[in-house]
Amino acid sequence: MALLEVEDLTVEFGTRDGTVRAVDRVSFAVDKGEIMGLVGESGSGKTVSCRAMLHLLPGWQVRRASGRAMFDGQDLLTADEGKLRDLHGRRIGMIFQNPASHLDPLMTIGRQVAEPLIYHKGMSAKEARVEAIQLLRQVGIPDPKRAVDAYPHQFSGGMKQRAVIAGAVACQPDLLVADEPTTALDVTVQAQILRLLLDLRDRTGLAIILITHDLGVVASTCDAVTVMYAGRIMERAPKAELIRAPRHPYTMGIIRSQPSRAEPGRPLDSIEGQLPALSALPEGCRFHPRCEYAIAPCRSGEIPLDTVGPDHAAACIRWRELRGAAA
Amino acid sequence: MHRYRFVITRPLQLIPVLFGISLVTFVLTHMIPGDPARILLGIRATAEAIAAIHEKFGLDKPLFVQYFYFLKNLLQGDFGRSIIYRAPVLGVVADRIMPTLSLILLAVIISAILSAILASIAATRRGGGTDQAIRLFSTIGLGLPSFWLGIVFIMVFSLGMGLFPVSGYGDTFLDRLHHLILPAATLAVSLVPVITRNLRASLIAESTSDYVTAARAKGVPAKVIFFGHVFRNSLLPTISLFGVNIGWMIGGTVVVETVFSVPGLGQLMVSSIFARDYLVVQAVTLVLALGVVATNFLVDVATAVLDPRVTV
Amino acid sequence: MTAIEIPAPPSRWRGMSLPWTVPTGAAIVLFWIAVAVLSPLIAPSDPIGQDLSQTLQPPSLAHWLGTDNFGRDVLSRLIWGTRYDLMMGFFGVLFPFIIGVTIGAVAGYSGGIIDAVLMRLLDITISFPFFVLIIAIVATLGPGLSSFYIALALVGWVSYARLVRSQFLVLKQSDFVLAARCLGFSRARIVFKHILPNAIMPAVVFSMSDAVLDILLGSSLSFLGLGIQPPTAEWGIMISDGKNFIAQAWWISFFPGLAIIILAIGFSFLADGFAELLGAKD
């Protein structure tokens, strides 16, 4: 059985223009020790679905979240505050895009790493501090004995992210939700942080949901990939297969528009148009206004997620014809 | 710890301001029409005394030279003699510092506690009836004349319930505390609305910040997040606001001390104005201005202690 | 010929609904203005005339708010006093406003040495406790209403100068000012027609809460005996008069205080409402 099974997760927001669906019947699963990439443009609903699942969206924003998110036999969506607090930090950790703003500027790094140990394991401040030094060493922070008493502003971006990771994995959780953990960092630091995450997975069997818009990150890190667009899942496949043989035109588009595929003298491919506003979603396939393969049936009705192969599904009615079109 | 080096360097930066303050006080006293010597000595002064004053303050010399005489005397701790108390002004003024200082300190403590409670309630029940009530209270509080409020407090708590003395200062520590509670509460009422509003806004802003989400994601209990993270961060702008408002509060003591007959600097200032004891008025003005400068320095220190990012 | 369009200055008022505090505050302030204007008509009796047979009478049908120790009708004194306290709010704001806005505009627009000098002057002024400096100036000039206005003008400008200066610093870099400058408009025209109307709004909003402070200061001064002098009917003086009789005749002090509070609430509501309109942070 999968560690986390999300089924038909739907998240609605109340906005000035009425209720909008940021996430629409999204399903995916993550196994123990698996790194699952959740890919899409900003606004595709990848962050919202994870945060809604963990009840980490600002309370006033969510109108309704429905579906199921089974974590170890427990539905996260219906879990009460106490149960969630028990899971947060102990069994499910989360790290963020901007480590600087996610650290309290007035609290020492060590204390912030130690917080979950104090509130979950009942450690004294002293014990937790010793443990925090250990954790800082594990995430590759040099001179952890000094770093433990440093304040966030004394750390570089990469070091801050390492510290956030140390806090998130302090209690050896089963699942880590990593929300664009490398986007705000320098390229060289990005690679280090990704290596650290891989290393943590190998050592502790940690499962990771890696939210990113960067296929390069997916390629170097993930085992499986889920592609989201405008609140819906477009395609889901093991990483190698997805990159080698994508079946959804949107997946093909983002693969083609990777900067790493750029060739000198040729303009970089890109997907024409823009992500639709959630309050004005197109009928039919949400991607059809931007899709070069769109035909009449794409413009109406529900496009289901169709099984392409083992562990591979795509929400495109033309996936059979599009075989190989990406190349 | 070089982070705290400014504890030494900052006072040096204050020197121009201190000069400015002394200049203003000097000019003020010299704007009074008539022979300064007669003004300073009163009408029954002898000719010799007047001559001595002329000598001491350089009154025959040009104005800017007189200022240097004034500064010289000041730096020697010589504020002149009070015509009413027939004693050196410095001693007269120094005797009144403690009551005023205690009064302000007590008022600051009362308003800090009250504002913290009110702002926390308002921020956590944002938009609710309690929040609205607290906001309305702070709007009304801004317009409460402290001299009137003091009288109402005396009416209700002293004359009505007999809980506190009507006026005066007391002898022992507890006795003084007992005497100062009503005046301090009166003074606090003018500060609480300002602090409450500001703190409420900061608390609301800070509670939506990312580090709060991160703390929740680590399973930190809501109470700890509020007091350990949100409140601490909100405290910084509030403390600087205290610094900005201390001048207003010191001004308030002048009125409150008069209402409650607290023998402090404010009461001394008012009585000396009526007695035309100008050297005392001048010295009190100077001491109270120094109080503002010193408070702002303390606020800087407090900010630096609380905020590791600050390196002045 | 193509018309050159200057980007419109940011309009902050359009499309905002009026907060309830604005009409409420306006109603309260207008009520007191009406009382002040109509005081000869509505006051039941002479505010200064003594009637020693009627001293310290509690509120009754004959004297709605009672009488004071000289037998004067508290309601009549309160009605007549409105004039002084409203005036203290108005003139107390007017002079500092004019001086402060001018200094702030000059400092903000010219920068350099003028700015530096004016800002040092400001630093020194704010290092005095506001009210203490006012009292010290009044002590020098001699008690009275005009001394109060002079003192306020000398001290009160700092808040306005600070507000306007910071606005100027921002606005003089803004697109519509740069555009106006490129078009070769004169300096005066840029300052008065383009920057000032935008820069002055925060100062106008502040002037309403400042009015509250000035009314409190003015009545405090009168209470201390340094402002308007007895037997004039003014709220601060009335409270001072009643101070010695609180045990027997609470009404002498109580009602004028209430009047101050209500007037202050009116201005505070206006200030709150306009601040909200300006988009100032909650």
Q: At what angle do helices B265-274 and B278-306 cross, to 10 degrees?
A: 160
Give the integer Cα–Cα distance in Å for B147 and B170.
Answer: 21
- Residue B2's pLDDT band, with cuts at 50, 70 and 90, is low
Cβ separation B248–C131 shorter than 8 A: yes
Cβ(A183)–Cβ(A41) below 8 Å: no
Those of residues 153-212 in B touching chain A at CB distance below 8 A are 208-211
Partner residues linked to A179 by β-bridges: A211
Residue C163: is its pLDDT beyond 70?
Answer: yes
Q: Which residues on C lie below 8 Å from B159 (Cβ)?
A: 246-247
Across the interface, of B258, B273, B293, the residue whose CB is closest to C127 is B293
Residue B123: is its pLDDT beyond 80?
Answer: yes
Residue C219: is its pLDDT beyond 60?
Answer: yes
- Determine which of B2-11, B259-268, C134-143 has the lowest per-residue pLDDT on average: B2-11
Residue B88, classed as helix, strand or coil, is strand
Residue B34, classed as helix, strand or coil, is coil
Task: Quote the percentage of chain C above a pLDDT of 90.
Answer: 47
Give the integer Cα–Cα distance in Å for C180 and C186.
Answer: 9
CA atoms within 13 A of residue A107's CA, in its CB half-sphere: 26
Residue of C31 and C176 predicted with greater confidence: C31
Cβ(B110)–Cβ(B184) below 8 Å: yes
pLDDT of residue A235: 94
Q: Which helix (H) or strand (E) holds B244?
A: helix B232-260
Cβ(A83)–Cβ(B217) below 8 Å: no
Please check whether residue B162 touches C, CB under 8 A: no
Residue C2: is its pLDDT beyond 50?
Answer: no
- Residue C281's pLDDT band, with cuts at 50, 70 and 90, is very low
Query: What digits encode the pLDDT tens for the residues B176-204?
Result: 888 899 999 999 998 999 999 999 999 99
pLDDT of residue B152: 93
Interface probe, candidates C126, C140, C150, chain B, greatest B C-beta count within 10 A: C140
Q: Measure CA C259 to chain center.
A: 16
Across the interface, of B217, B229, B309, the residue whose CB is closest to A56 is B217
Cβ separation A119–B219 shorter than 8 A: yes
Residue of C119 and A35 predicted with greater confidence: A35
Query: What digits encode the pLDDT tens for the residues B24-52?
Result: 888 888 888 777 777 777 777 788 888 88
Cβ(A241)–Cβ(A223) below 8 Å: no
Please check whether residue B294 touches C, CB under 8 A: no
Across the interface, of B143, B152, B270, the residue whose CB is closest to C260 is B143
Across the interface, of B216, B222, B229, the residue whose CB is closest to A104 is B229
C-alpha pair distances (Å), B35 with each of A103, B38, B61, B68, B311: 66, 5, 13, 19, 50
Interface probe, candidates B124, B207, B209, B218, chain A, greatest A C-beta count within 10 A: B218
Which tokens in the block code for residue B138? 């702070």
Gyration radius of chain C over CA positions: 23
Measured between CA atoms, how close is A153 to chain B, in angstroms? 7
Interface probe, candidates B147, B245, B281, B284, chain C, greatest C C-beta count within 10 A: B147
Q: Which residues on A lie below 8 Å from B229 (Cβ)?
A: 104, 107
Query: What DSSP string describes C237-255?
Result: HHHHHHHTTTTT-THHHHH
């203003």: which residue's tokens? B24
Q: Which chains touch A (3+ CB pairs under 8 A)? A: B
- Residue C8's pLDDT band, with cuts at 50, 70 and 90, is very low
pLDDT of residue B14: 81
Q: Indicate the DSSP class of residue C73.
A: B
Residue C178: is its pLDDT beyond 80?
Answer: yes
């403690």: which residue's tokens? B98
Give the integer Cα–Cα distance in Å for C52 and B21.
Answer: 49
- DSSP H helices, C8-129, are 21-42, 74-110, 112-126
C-alpha pair distances (Å), A29 with each of A8, A26, A57, C239: 11, 10, 21, 75
Which tokens in the block code for residue B44? 């029954």
Residue of A14 and C141 predicted with greater confidence: C141
Q: pLDDT per position in chain A (327 positions), as tens?
A: 789 999 999 998 877 777 888 899 999 999 999 999 999 988 889 999 999 999 888 765 666 788 999 998 899 999 888 999 999 999 999 999 999 999 999 999 999 999 999 999 999 999 999 999 999 999 999 999 999 999 999 999 999 999 999 999 999 999 999 999 998 888 888 999 999 999 999 999 999 999 998 888 898 899 999 999 999 999 999 999 998 889 999 999 888 887 777 677 777 777 878 888 888 888 889 999 888 888 888 888 888 888 988 889 999 988 888 765 544
Cβ separation C220–B145 shorter than 8 A: yes
Which tokens in the block code for residue C274? 């306009």
Please check whether residue B252 touches C, CB under 8 A: yes
Task: Quote the percentage of chain B above a pLDDT of 90.
Answer: 44
Give the integer Cα–Cα distance in Å for B260 and C134.
Answer: 21
pLDDT of residue C192: 82
pTM over 0.90: no
Query: What digits encode the pLDDT tens for the residues C197-214?
Result: 888 988 998 999 899 999
Residue C3: is its pLDDT beyond 60?
Answer: no
C-alpha pair distances (Å), A253 with each of A39, A269, A273, B171: 13, 8, 12, 85
Q: Which chain C residue is nearest to residue B145, measuring alpha carbons?
A: C216
Please check whether residue C130 touches B, CB under 8 A: yes
Cβ separation C136–B151 shorter than 8 A: no
Cβ(C85)–Cβ(C97) below 8 Å: no
Gyration radius of chain B over CA positions: 24
Those of residues 89-128 in C touching chain B at CB distance below 8 A are 120-121, 123-128
Q: Which residues on B lie below 8 Å from C223 (Cβ)?
A: 145, 147, 255, 258
Please check whether residue C129 touches B, CB under 8 A: yes
Residue type at position A30: V
- Report yes or no on chains C and A touching (3+ CB pairs under 8 A): no
Residue B307: is its pLDDT beyond 50?
Answer: yes
Q: Which residues on B lie below 8 Å from A154 (Cβ)?
A: 308
Q: Is C112 left (phi over 0), alpha (psi -120 to 50) or beta?
A: left
Q: Which chain A residue is nearest to residue B126, measuring alpha carbons?
A: A60
Which tokens in the block code for residue B128? 């609710």
Across the interface, of C223, C256, C261, the residue whose CB is closest to B140 is C261
Measured between CA atoms, how close is B90 to chain A, in angstroms? 43
- Determine which of B260-264, C5-9, C152-156 has the lowest per-residue pLDDT on average: C5-9
pLDDT of residue C64: 86
Query: What digits encode the pLDDT tens for the residues B205-242?
Result: 999 899 999 999 999 999 999 999 999 999 999 998 88
Query: What digits encode the pLDDT tens for the residues A10-45?
Result: 998 877 777 888 899 999 999 999 999 999 988 889
3-state SS of chain A is CCCEEEEEEEEEEEECCEEEEEEEEEEEEECCCCEEEEECCCCCCHHHHHHHHCCCCCCCCEEEEEEEEEECCEEHHHCCHHHHHHHECCCEEEECCCCCCCCCCCCCHHHHHHHHHHHHHCCCHHHHHHHHHHHHHHCCCCCHHHHCCCCHHHCCHHHHHHHHHHHHCCCCCCEEEEECCCCCCCHHHHHHHHHHHHHHHHHHCCEEEEEECCHHHHHHHCCEEEEEECCEEEEEEEHHHHHHCCCCHHHHHHHHCCHHHCCCCCCCCCCCCCCCCHHHCCCCCCCHHHCCCCCHHHHCCCCCCEEEECCEEECCCCCCCCCCCCC
pLDDT of residue C57: 85
Residue B81, classed as helix, strand or coil, is strand
